[in-house]
Amino acid sequence: MLKSTKYILLFFISEDMLCEVRFYIPPKEQKTEKKKQESNEDEQDEISYLQQVQNQIVNKAKIGGSSDSILTVHEVPFIVPRGKYTMDFFKKEVRFHGNTYQFTTDYKSITRFFLLPMPDEVNLSLVVGLENPIKQGQTAYNYIVMQFKKDQETQVEMKYTREQLDNIGWKGIRLEYTGSMYDIVCDILSEITGIKVVSPKNFKCKNGLFCLRCSVVPHTGFLFPLEKSLLYIQKPVIYIKHDDIKEILLQRITQTTQNKFFDIKIITKNTSYLFSTVDKEELDNLTQYFNSKKLQVKKIQEENEGINKDKDDSDDDSQNGHKVTLSQMDSDEDDEDFQAQEDSYNSVQFQQKVQKTRAANK
């Protein structure tokens, strides 16, 4: 039996759910110089003691290790959260073991699967939706994303017999799987949970891909238009059902050579999402997709366009007015010069007449 005085328990509680329990075992009393010289036996005792504590905790909590799992898939690459994890499948839950973090989710908490072909045409992403998010530190994840290479193959064997699998309700699970890792993981998860894996079908971009490159500040990712929803990966993963969309605003769609991108603002019943820097060449395809799903779409011209136009008109009027004023000023100056010359000429003639009159009188 474990002595409570030997351990310090650290509890991490988020709202009404216990997320993590850590056990700290203080080191034994400092060894004397004589005991240090007998290091070999003491080190073996220390290791066996720690292992004994771990075994007792596991047995009391009834949480077996990988050896007690029904099947294990090693080195599964994740991009959300990032790292490589070993997946241990148990009767009611699946556990993920990484180098730094470990987390568990039961099969009932899994709500949806998406298998998405990535633009590099080399990788496939498997998105798993969770009703109860997993936590790493202060970060909660409602979706986990695995990424597989298409040519990555593996082999998995069940640790249960056919009879044992049938008894726990895994009648559709085969005793052995060989092939692409993404196929194996998808088949097993889909069979256990009874949830169908969704993949993009009808929508394609100009370049033949199934997704649009865009940004959700501050990250760049990919938006997948699906049959009944929109899905954005990588960070954060955003899932929007068509039924929840109130309005879609297509912004910055002016026909100018300088602006090669536009934005998509999706307003839902509870919030809104902005997907920016979408290639303008995808505007027609995307508009056709939204219309085919009977979603309300509104196109908005660039906000500064009207202001710039008014400013240009004002500048033109100002310039025209300025030209008229200059013309008038030039005309006035010419008239004054002409009048001055005329007055000067008349003054000379008058003086000549006066001199002639005086000479005649003499």
Domains of the chain, earliest start first: 66-198 (2.30.29.150), 212-304 (2.30.29.30)
**According to the model, what pLDDT value does residue 345 have?**
40
Chain center to CA of 239? 10
The pLDDT-based confidence of 20 (bands split at 50, 70, 90) is: low
Kindly tell me if the per-residue pLDDT of 248 is higher than 50. Answer: yes
* Mean pLDDT, residues 240-267: 89
Specify the higher pLDDT residue, 317 or 245.
Answer: 245
Kindly tell me if the per-residue pLDDT of 58 is higher than 60. Answer: yes
User: With contact defined as beta carbons under 8 Å apart, do 71 and 62 qualify?
Assistant: no
The pLDDT-based confidence of 310 (bands split at 50, 70, 90) is: very low
* Mean pLDDT, residues 89-110: 91
In single-letter form, the type of residue at position 257 comes to T
pLDDT digits (tens, 9 = 90+) for 135-185: 887 889 999 999 999 999 999 999 999 999 999 999 999 999 999 999 999
**According to the model, what pLDDT value does residue 52 have?**
73
Kindly tell me if the per-residue pLDDT of 57 is higher than 60. Answer: yes
Kindly tell me if the per-residue pLDDT of 322 is higher than 50. Answer: no
| 110: nearest Cα among 141, 69, 76 | 141
pLDDT digits (tens, 9 = 90+) for 350-361: 455 556 655 555
Q: If 0-12 CB within 10 Å is exposed, 13-18 middle and 19+ buried, where does residue 318 land?
A: exposed
**According to the model, what pLDDT value does residue 68 have?**
80
The pLDDT-based confidence of 235 (bands split at 50, 70, 90) is: confident
Cα dihedral 333, 335, 338, 343, rounded to 10, equals -110
Report strand pairing: 219-225 vs 139-149.
unpaired
Kindly tell me if the per-residue pLDDT of 192 is higher than 60. Answer: yes
